[in-house]
Amino acid sequence: MKCRRCRQRAVIDLKSHNTAFCADCFFVFVERQVRRAIKEHQMCSRRDRILVCVSGGKDSLALWDLLLRLGYRAEGLYIDLGIEDYSRRSREKVEAFVQGRGLELRVVSLEEEGFPIPELARRNRRAECSVCGTVKRHYFNRVAAEGGYDVVATGHNLDDEAGRLLGNLLHWQWEYLSKQSPVLPGVGEALVKKVEPLCRLTERETAAYALLRGIDYQLEECPMSRGATSLKYKEVLNLLEDWMPGTKAAFYQGFLKNSEIFRRETDQAPLESPSSFRCSQCGQPSLAEICNFCRLTNPT
């Protein structure tokens, strides 16, 4: 198998693009996909201060690496979820990435905040993944707003977004469909813009990128995510992809082209004036008097 660009020996074949690349040409391909996503969705500019949320996994560390290579000003945020050895090992990967490169990293420890995820889930009698999502979203925005960042970037990839889309469609979640986008605009200083620059790359591509760049990442999945329905949707899409290469990208890109349909159908109140939509306890943007995060962490 030869590289499509330079005819050297290829190290990866990409059936969905009907091509194959050597390592150097694969890097060019990956950078092009990220540049294209950023441009297409006007995600960020080189003047912006970007907060990259890093879990220690392949996607978010590859994202940080790529943003820096493309000339963006990117600093990191790691949330130590307090999930025993898994969190300790993930933190080690993030710290190793930072050390070798002299980067700026902010760390929030939920143990120190007084509510590690397993305990918070028990206290609220809720599944770990659902409380974890609320807590992470809260800190992504809060750390970015308090630190004066212009943009929050996460490592969500094409598999994540196509899987989420399939789940939302299967259950006709109109409200979620209307909000699903690789870029969510910010509002004032309170709600920081959120972007997903890896939305054109599959999980296999981000893993190959991290591996070929020598990025040491956390291979383990979170122990709480076993059997999660989101993984089932990804599996189904992978079966279709094997059968018909390119299906995943066509499914998601088609949605992005037509997502207006879902916006018109839902009548949601936009968060236009963040000062009047603040949680009375933590001051973060919220449509309710007390936000979901405060309801979880200070149950009355």
d(CA 157, CA 197): 8
Q: Does 79 bind ligand AMP (CB under 6 A)?
A: yes
The sign of the dihedral angle between the CA atoms of 29, 140, 93, 75 is: positive
Q: Does 110 bind ligand FES (CB under 6 A)?
A: no
- Applying CB under 6 A, which part among 28-36, 152-160, 238-246, 284-292 lies near ligand AMP? 152-160
Count of Cβ atoms closer than 10 Å to residue 265 Cβ: 11
- Applying CB under 6 A, which part among 97-105, 151-159, 179-187, 200-208 lies near ligand AMP? 151-159
Each residue 12-51 as x (binds ligand FES by CB under 6 A) or -, in order, gives ----------------------------------------
Q: What is the largest CA-CA distance in the chain?
A: 65
CB burial readout 60-70, b (16+ within 10 A) else e: bbbbbbbbeee
Expressed in angstroms, the distance from the first to the final Cα of the chain is 63
- Applying CB under 6 A, which part among 97-105, 192-200, 222-230, 282-290 lies near ligand FES? 222-230
In terms of Cα–Cα distance, which of 181, 183, 178 is closest to 195?
A: 183
Q: Does 162 bind ligand AMP (CB under 6 A)?
A: no
Per CB under 6 A, the list member of 224, 237, 279, 294 interacting with ligand FES is 224
With CB atoms as reference, the residue minimizing the distance to ligand AMP is 155
Which of 107/282 has CB closer to Zn ion?
Answer: 282
Residues in the chain: 300
281 binds, among Zn ion, ligand AMP, ligand FES, none (CB under 5 to 8 A by kind): Zn ion
Q: Which residues contact 117 (CB under 8 A, 6 or more apart)?
A: 81, 82, 83, 110, 128, 131, 132, 135, 224
79 binds, among Zn ion, ligand AMP, ligand FES, none (CB under 5 to 8 A by kind): ligand AMP
Q: Does 281 bind Zn ion (CB under 5 A)?
A: yes
* DSSP secondary structure of 16-46: GGTEEE-HHHHHHHHHHHHHHHHHHTT---T
Per CB under 6 A, the list member of 81, 98, 110, 145 interacting with ligand AMP is 81
Q: Does 229 bind ligand FES (CB under 6 A)?
A: no
Q: Does 155 bind ligand AMP (CB under 6 A)?
A: yes
Which of 105/282 has CB closer to Zn ion?
Answer: 282
224 binds, among ligand FES, Zn ion, ligand AMP, none (CB under 5 to 8 A by kind): ligand FES
Half-sphere exposure of 182 (CA within 13 A, CB side): 29
Per CB under 6 A, the list member of 10, 37, 43, 53 interacting with ligand AMP is 53
